Amino acid sequence: MLGPLEALIPFGIPCRSRNFSDVHTPATLVRGGTSKCWLFQQVHVPADRGALEKLLVAAYGSADPVELDGVGGATPTTSKAAVVSASPASGVDVDYLFAQVGIGTGSVEWTSNCGNCATGVALYAVAKGLVPITGDRTRVVMRNTNTGAVLEGLVDTTGGVVHDFGEQTVPGTRAGGVAVGLTFRGPAGRTTGALLPTGLPAQDLRVGGADPVRVTMVDAGAPVVLVDAASAGHTGSEPLDAMGALVPWLRSVRHACAPELGLAVPGAEPGDAVPKVGLVGPPVAYTSTLGDRVTADAYDVSVRMLSMNAPHPAIGLTSAVAVAAAALAEGSVVARAARSPRDGRLRIGTPAGVVAVACEDVRDGVPGRVTVQRAARLLADARIYVPDHAAAPGSRRAA
Amino acid sequence: MLGPLEALIPFGIPCRSRNFSDVHTPATLVRGGTSKCWLFQQVHVPADRGALEKLLVAAYGSADPVELDGVGGATPTTSKAAVVSASPASGVDVDYLFAQVGIGTGSVEWTSNCGNCATGVALYAVAKGLVPITGDRTRVVMRNTNTGAVLEGLVDTTGGVVHDFGEQTVPGTRAGGVAVGLTFRGPAGRTTGALLPTGLPAQDLRVGGADPVRVTMVDAGAPVVLVDAASAGHTGSEPLDAMGALVPWLRSVRHACAPELGLAVPGAEPGDAVPKVGLVGPPVAYTSTLGDRVTADAYDVSVRMLSMNAPHPAIGLTSAVAVAAAALAEGSVVARAARSPRDGRLRIGTPAGVVAVACEDVRDGVPGRVTVQRAARLLADARIYVPDHAAAPGSRRAA
């Protein structure tokens, strides 16, 4: 008869024999802005999308709501991955496939992009030698293979070397990182065909029975509805809880504008993602959600956005692009609220702090390139022990 | 004049020059039971406690409530660390110093131990060659240097090799791992001096004006008050939400018992941690919080514990030790409720599933060793990029 310990530990459970490289997958954890993302090199993971998804689900412990049995962070901003490779496309340095690894779903969402992760990819590409350093700044041209979008990352390589650490911050965290300028190429009119889809820099809009409010509809990075806060009795520098109270009204504004952007038929509710909507006002002193006092001199324009019908804690990168592009249009609600002169560089005050955006190659008021100041940092180089992901889901459950 | 991009990326921020090994700290992420823990070897981190704390805070991003800028998991069960070394103590293989890395505090709590992490340390010690493999089972004697407690881990090394993966589960997760039996040596009477501090295997207790309930007070692993559920009109197999409703009553029971355990003066509220308190009942079929149907044959006794005055999702390891030790005492509420015969191995039904506990070296009803069946898995071997932790807090904030 077995003693209690022998009975406790089952004897002879078959062990798995797999190649070392199949089990120990190299990956690097990066922080890009306010996201954490594991980066894999294509040569280390399957090219087949289904097999790759199984690998990521197994590596992250994605079947579990707390991603206990893996390297996932169990929040949407810390359960991201990207697969990086040298690009076969002319003029592109690296391709990256972005993966939003599901939390508790055991699946991966493949249709989106992530600007934060792109800044991490840019730093990684330089740090891992995929792109040669070119002096104090190194440009990395990246193609997001999920969407086809081409982005540029301008990585601070001061002194001609890669830096492990840096002092650049982004709104939403005090953590410093290596400065990475993230450039959106030709962002105007991608959805609607024009920077100003209605042909007007601003227009008055009557929502419900209320007095008209002044709005700018702009398509750059994403289609965005920007409301002149003052025209509606607001400031554009509202704290997040005050923004929460304004959600129903701002939803009705975007609802009213969506048909003019071709994003919904009149009367129908537009999808949650676009158009994005927010309030714009002049710079005033305020306290950020990190507790920092921000003076009116420290930035050029106040913006308070919604994201998926809730107040955004800072501002999405594509919304920042839209705000900066709108600032170029004389008479837009941004141009009227923002500090002048505007030399192509706009500092946007968000609830979490200030983010700087630069427009370049401006022709007929349309920016050819829009760059958002971001930061990234490598957090860890690792070999991940990936459970046997070829097995059927649930096969690792105890017998 | 600077162009917008030059203005955007500040030029000439000083880069830090440090030794490679100072920046890239080797560490291994393990899952022990339902916790994730980074393990460091003592040779790679400072021996000085203050310097070590700064390193961990920097590596985890602990100053930030979401541990964005580091490898911390931003929950109490995923923001743990341990430093492992060969032990100078006779009969001990490895010492480990446990660190509960604060989330948003920028500090480390050094006074506790973690049984889950201990199982990870045991597997790690074998996998990293700190302890030689001894056939199909390898015993690792560990000293927790926070508390001085000595524990043993019996690691499944079937075939005389370390396994990266395994099928053993613990309540609270479906994830399989390598079986590790975690043994508490001489756990009885550590707090009160006796396994049965009142000298009785069970006694009737009147709480408030209600009818008396039958309780067993036991000191093994921790001082624990176990209530015969049936004597109070309950089952001991209550779902978690029903347990929530019983919290005030169970608090009053532990309040009444604490003075008899020497843990509070009569009338005073005992501390939240001990004595622990829970309901005990016979095995019945139930559905676990993972959604699994558990038959009455699959376990021996139902237990529903509180932890820090809230329903425990499973059972704490020290409470499991107490329940198993109490089962040895004829007439205890556990012995009366549990399936017989009891051969020293007790399967405890918890809300999250079944955990097996074995008592050995029993003399005069007192177990010399109590082993809880656990599982562990190595998740990743890494080199962590640790920001300059010698710098003062906040120095990495942007100028």
- Please write the tens of the pLDDT for every residue from B38-48: 999 999 999 99
Name which of A328, A335, A393, A313 is nearest A367 in CA terms.
Answer: A328
Asked whether this chain's domains B20-184+378-385 and B203-364 adopt the same fold, the reply is yes
What band does B397 get if pLDDT is binned at 50, 70 and 90? very low
What band does A113 get if pLDDT is binned at 50, 70 and 90? confident
What the block records as the tokens of A371 is 């760059």
> Would the CB atoms of B75 and A63 count as touching at under 8 Å?
no
B203-364: what fold?
Diaminopimelate Epimerase; Chain A, domain 1 (3.10.310)
Q: Does A11 have pLDDT greater than 80?
A: no
Residues of A in contact with B26 (CB under 8 A): none
The residues, any chain, with a CB within 8 Å of residue A327's CB and separated by 6 or more, are: A301, A334, A335, A338, A342, A346, A359
The reported pLDDT for the residue numbered A15 is 45
What the block records as the tokens of A81 is 């991955």
Give pLDDT tens digits for A145-204: 998 889 999 999 999 999 999 999 999 898 999 999 999 999 999 999 999 999 999 999
Chain A contact present for B360, CB below 8 A: yes
The reported pLDDT for the residue numbered A209 is 79
Chain B contact present for A348, CB below 8 A: no
User: With a threshold of 0.95, does the pTM exceed it?
Assistant: no
Name which of B184, B192, B186, B237 is nearest B217 in CA terms.
Answer: B192
Domain ranges of chain B: 20-184+378-385, 203-364
Q: How many CB atoms lie within 10 A of CB A271?
A: 11
Q: What angle do CA A48, A52, A56 make, to 5 degrees?
A: 175
Task: Choose among A154, A385, A399: nearest Cβ to B9.
Answer: A154
Residues of B in contact with A78 (CB under 8 A): 66, 68, 74
- In the CATH scheme, what is the code of domain A20-186+378-385? 3.10.310.10
Name which of B172, B202, B207 is nearest B337 in CA terms.
Answer: B202
For residues A181, A182, A183, A188, the Cα torsion angle rounded to the nearest 10 degrees is: -130
For B247, counting Cβ atoms within 10 Å of its Cβ (0-12 exposed, 13-18 middle, 19+ buried), the class is: middle
What the block records as the tokens of B157 is 């090394």
> Would the CB atoms of B174 and A385 count as touching at under 8 Å?
no
What band does B6 get if pLDDT is binned at 50, 70 and 90? low
Give pLDDT tens digits for B160-204: 999 999 999 999 898 999 999 999 999 999 999 999 999 999 999
Strands (E), B157-255: 178-185, 203-205, 213-220, 222-228
Backbone angles phi, psi at A62, to 5 degrees: -65, -20
What the block records as the tokens of B353 is 């599933």
Chain A contact present for B171, CB below 8 A: no
Q: What is the mean pLDDT of residues A98-127?
A: 94
What band does B282 get if pLDDT is binned at 50, 70 and 90? very high
Task: Choose among B7, B13, B63: nearest Cβ to A166.
Answer: B13
Taking CA–CA distances from B77, the nearest residue in chain A reads A68
Residues of B in contact with A68 (CB under 8 A): 31, 34, 36, 77-78, 173, 175
Chain B contact present for A71, CB below 8 A: yes
Residues of A in contact with B173 (CB under 8 A): 64, 68-69
Backbone angles phi, psi at A297, to 5 degrees: -75, -15
Q: How many CB atoms lie within 10 A of CB B10?
A: 16
Q: Which A residues in the span 298-337 are in contact with B, Cβ-Cβ below 8 Å?
A: none
How far is it, in rounded angstroms, from Cα A328 to Cα A366? 8
> Would the CB atoms of B165 and A385 count as touching at under 8 Å?
yes
β-bridge mates for residue A302, sequence order: A281, A349
The reported pLDDT for the residue numbered A7 is 56
How far is it, in rounded angstroms, from Cα B333 to Cα A215? 72
Predicted complex ipTM:
0.86
How far is it, in rounded angstroms, from Cα B271 to Cα A394? 41
Q: How many CB atoms lie within 10 A of CB B261?
A: 21
How far is it, in rounded angstroms, from Cα B129 to Cα B396? 38
How far is it, in rounded angstroms, from Cα A348 to Cα B250? 54
For residue A380, give how far its alpha carbon lies from the nearest alpha carbon of chain B (Å): 4
B20-184+378-385: what fold?
Diaminopimelate Epimerase; Chain A, domain 1 (3.10.310)
| Average pLDDT of chain B, as a whole number | 90
Give pLDDT tens digits for A212-225: 999 999 999 999 99
